[in-house]
Structure 1
């Protein structure tokens, strides 16, 4: 499995790793109201079991798929009936992720030494080259490994997003599902099917799931945000006071 990182406004070569960008927190990592989307009804009932396709059926679907691809991200059928291709995953993470510096890459995956909390830039999109045998769980692990994320993969989930009658539908994929199979059935259009990585929790933040260094990083982020907001308010009301004083001086002058 290979992968590359791109922003949603552009695309970088699949043959070499692109540079990743991380920004420090600018907004609170507490839970925000979700975007308006039509909730799926009976998601589990709507999810059909994966059909076992014959080699001929796979070949036909891949030919149709490749004929409609516009970004050269085509699929390839191998002699063992396993096919390879590309999926794009939007990183929709609302809380900071813990990054493991390159100098500690060889250490234990959950070693907390020198780890730093960052917010993933909004609308970051990753393009992964995977096979039909790769599962959702493996895709999540590959994404986290690409960004050197030290957080436990169990904290994250992969969602599929579709658009029906101007409504956006989101549903969580099971760990054992195969994203490339879903991509093949849906075709290359991101409106028909898109993949989104999100935090696994859908309710309140489970602080006990985070390590002590992670929580300490969150506190430092909150302190910086609090100071930034305080300085912003001081400038805002300082400007307001200046304008009021100017207005008072102007009205006090004889006409």
Structure 2
């Protein structure tokens, strides 16, 4: 870390990516180059075509940040580095700490300053490290999804509903058949 004249400081933080779901990147005819990653996607321009893929499991990225850089800005920087066009609100930054053989995760608020937390924790990475994960707060933030993603959800739900209905109809059709067979087998007395 280095101290600036204004009293702020700069340094590196290491963030481990533990994403379970695929991420979206702009679809292109060629794979992104290292120069593309450095430039980052123009977030102000709408991406018309996307492709999705899974980031490598437990990928680690080092970021050079200021002491006043907030957790939300760290998330946005990570997404720019990997050319991810998904809404940053879909992701959350967590602090990870190991104590007495137990691993503890705590979601950082958008305004917390990761470099400051790293400095306060000391050099031991087991005392504090950072993890980027999906923002699973239990409630769905529908505003974070694009219209194509929402339409895709509806298609998936429609297919699941149709399959469930087919299974129910099949089950009761089988029951009806067994009842009719039992009625025909019983002599009327």
Cα pair distance change 1:78/1:190, threshold 3 Å: same
Q: For 2:117, what is the secondary structure of its paired residue?
A: helix
1:124 aligns with 2:59: yes
Residue of structure 2 equivalent to 1:201: 136
2:49 to 114, 139, 146: 114
Unaligned runs of 5+ in 1: 1-74, 221-255
Match for residue 88 of structure 1?
Answer: 14
Give 1:206 shift: 6.3
Give the TM-score, by structure 1 length: 0.51
Q: Give the alignment's Cα RMSD to 1 decimal.
A: 2.7
- Whole-Å Cα distance in 2 between the matches of residues 179 and 208 of structure 1? 26
Correspondence list, 1:1-255, <5 A:
75-101=1-27, 105-106=41-42, 108-109=44-45, 111-203=46-138, 209-214=144-149
CA contact (8 A) 1:136 1:179 kept: yes
What is the aligned length? 145
If each structure's strand is expressed as a fraction of its own residues, which one has the higher value? 2
**In the superposition, relative to structure 1, how do residues 183 and 161 fare at CA in structure 2: closer, same or farther (>3 Å)?**
same
Larger radius of gyration, structure 1 or 2? 2
Aligned partners of 2:43 and 2:85 also within 8 Å: no
| Structure 2 unmatched runs, 5+ | 157-189
1:100 positional shift: 2.0
Residues 117 and 214 in structure 1, CA contact (< 8 A), matched pair in contact too: no
TM-score by length of 2: 0.67
